[in-house]
């Protein structure tokens, strides 16, 4: 998958939440059938979490259409620049991604700090010309920290999250309008704005005791 600008909003939902009808949103002509994916992501950072402190995330993920290495760099609220490298780079952080964060990490090593398993159900909203306007991802996440003292993994943390990502061909104003309308529909159905900007931040912010 090519590098791209990611425009998305995140929501939290309870176990009983059901995705509301979306086919009558402005500009939407079709809602795809649900597609189920299993995603396994390992996140990398320095010992002092230099990346996440600067709202940057770096992961190696398998599963889904965009498996590979993903580096997400903040641009503005709800917008991040996403830089990709293929899985063929192996278990070491690809040199291109390392160079993108060199000013943040210096010569510190980047090592695994967390693992997130995600059972995802995706639906896509398309316009009259079958252009994908947005992707709705219903995520059931199980996350563990890998950087606990002694090298042990933490107790798992589980939650449900709904991501709404604008299609790559939308103008910023179109993306804003569609995400606003979709978000209102989700909130009316019982979803809540996510408490953290990313899944990794949600895990690292968790106040529960670690094992």
Residue 129 token pair: 């010309």
Residue 209: pLDDT band by 50, 70, 90 thresholds?
very low
Mean pLDDT computed over 204-209: 67
C-alpha radius of gyration, the chain, whole number: 17
| Of residues 206 and 84, more confidently modeled | 84
pLDDT tens by residue, 165-190 = 999 878 888 999 999 999 999 999 99
* pLDDT tens, position by position, 27-76: 999 999 999 999 999 999 999 999 999 999 999 999 988 899 999 999 98
CB of 199 within 8 A of CB of 192?
no
Backbone angles phi, psi at 100, to 5 degrees: -70, -25
What whole-number distance in Å separates Cα of residue 1 and Cα of residue 68? 9
Between CA 137 and CA 118 the distance in angstroms is: 11
- Are 45 and 52 spatial neighbours (Cβ–Cβ below 8 Å)? yes
pLDDT digits (tens, 9 = 90+) for 110-139: 999 999 999 999 999 999 989 999 999 999
* DSSP, residue by residue, 60-109: EEESSTT-EEEEEEEEETTEEEEEEE-GGGTTSPPHHHHHHTHHHHTTPP
pTM of structure = 0.88
CB contact set of 150 (below 8 Å; sequence gap of 6+): none
Q: How far apart are CA 90 and CA 138, in angstroms?
A: 29
For the chain, list the domains and their CATH numbers. Answer: 4-205 (2.40.320.10)
Cα 170 from chain centre: 19
Question: Which helix (H) or strand (E) segment is 38 a member of?
Answer: strand 35-45
């Amino acid at each position: 998958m090519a590098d791209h600008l990611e425009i998305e909003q995140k929501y939290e939902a309870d176990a009983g939440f059901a995705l509301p009808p979306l086919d009558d949103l402005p500009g939407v002509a079709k809602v795809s059938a649900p597609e189920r994916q299993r995603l396994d992501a390992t996140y990398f950072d320095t010992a002092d979490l230099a990346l996440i402190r600067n709202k940057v995330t770096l992961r190696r993920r398998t599963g889904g259409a965009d498996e590979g290495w993903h580096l997400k760099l903040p641009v503005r609220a709800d917008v991040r620049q996403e830089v990709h490298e293929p899985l063929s780079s192996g278990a070491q952080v690809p040199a291109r991604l390392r160079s993108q964060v060199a000013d943040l990490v210096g010569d510190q090593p980047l090592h695994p700090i967390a693992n997130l398993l995600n059972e995802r159900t995706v639906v896509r909203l398309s316009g009259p010309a079958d252009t994908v306007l947005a992707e709705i991802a219903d995520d059931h996440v199980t996350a563990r920290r890998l950087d606990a003292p002694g090298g042990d993994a933490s107790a798992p943390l589980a939650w449900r999250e709904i991501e709404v990502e604008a299609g790559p061909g939308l103008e910023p104003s179109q993306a804003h309008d569609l995400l606003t309308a979709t978000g209102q529909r989700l909130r009316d159905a019982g979803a809540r704005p996510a408490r953290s900007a990313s899944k990794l931040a949600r895990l690292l912010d968790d106040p529960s005791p670690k094992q």
